[in-house]
Structure 1
């Protein structure tokens, strides 16, 4: 029995809507991702909490696209906000600044 404020599981808006899995590449490594995940979520699931060059380590700070701390390179495009960009099948993500190793 459910109370007046409980929803059945299939109607729960917080329940993951996307179950489709696919692969993306992070710094040359093939990793699993799910449709609807942000780049930041994929990185966090791998235990990656900071990125960019060794002298400019940054990571997820505000999580809403305001601070620009989570910038990285996706498919060769620099300055992509990891917290806003949803991953797509075949994405190539680089946590290093362009021109650094």
Structure 2
């Protein structure tokens, strides 16, 4: 089923910010989630499945389904539906499972 009929662009209003999506500058509303901003700009998928590279897109818009995982400012596994848009953020689609560096916990020092 195509999602084209489910989403339509809204008027941007007066308060907008500039973000970068995969190298392309976008002007988006300032007071929305990253997922909502990207959907409003016509971007229909935000990640690719680690199992079969199937495109994934924001689904629940409340942080439950993890379909909107993206790389935000170099940090993988950000849930775009929970990240508020801010000026200058750099966003990329997440391709497959992201490797996360484990931080070593320090002892009492």
Normalised to the residue count of structure 2, the TM-score between the two structures is 0.66
Residues 29-57 of structure 1, C-alpha deviation per residue, up to 9 Å, x if partnerless? Answer: 00102221111111111211113238231
User: 2:21 — aligned with what?
Assistant: 26
Structure 1 residue 39 and structure 2 residue 34: aligned? yes
Of Structure 1 and Structure 2, the greater strand share is in: 2
User: 2:46 — aligned with what?
Assistant: 51
RMSD: 2.1
Mark the runs of 5 or more structure 1 residues left unpaired by the alignment: 1-17
Q: Measure the CA separation in 1 of the matches of 2:59 and 2:29.
A: 22
Q: Measure the CA separation in 2 of the matches of 1:25 and 1:56.
A: 23
Q: Measure the CA separation in 2 of the matches of 1:50 and 1:29.
A: 15
Mark the runs of 5 or more structure 2 residues left unpaired by the alignment: 1-12, 97-109
Which residue, out of 54, 59, 62, partners 1:61? 59
Report if the CA contact (8 A) 1:19-1:35 is conserved. Answer: no
Question: Number of residues paired by the alignment?
Answer: 82
Q: Measure the CA separation in 2 of the matches of 1:92 and 1:73.
A: 8
Which deviates further from its counterpart, 47-56 or 84-93? Answer: 47-56
Structure 1 runs of 4+ aligned residues shifted over 6 Å read: none
Larger radius of gyration: 1
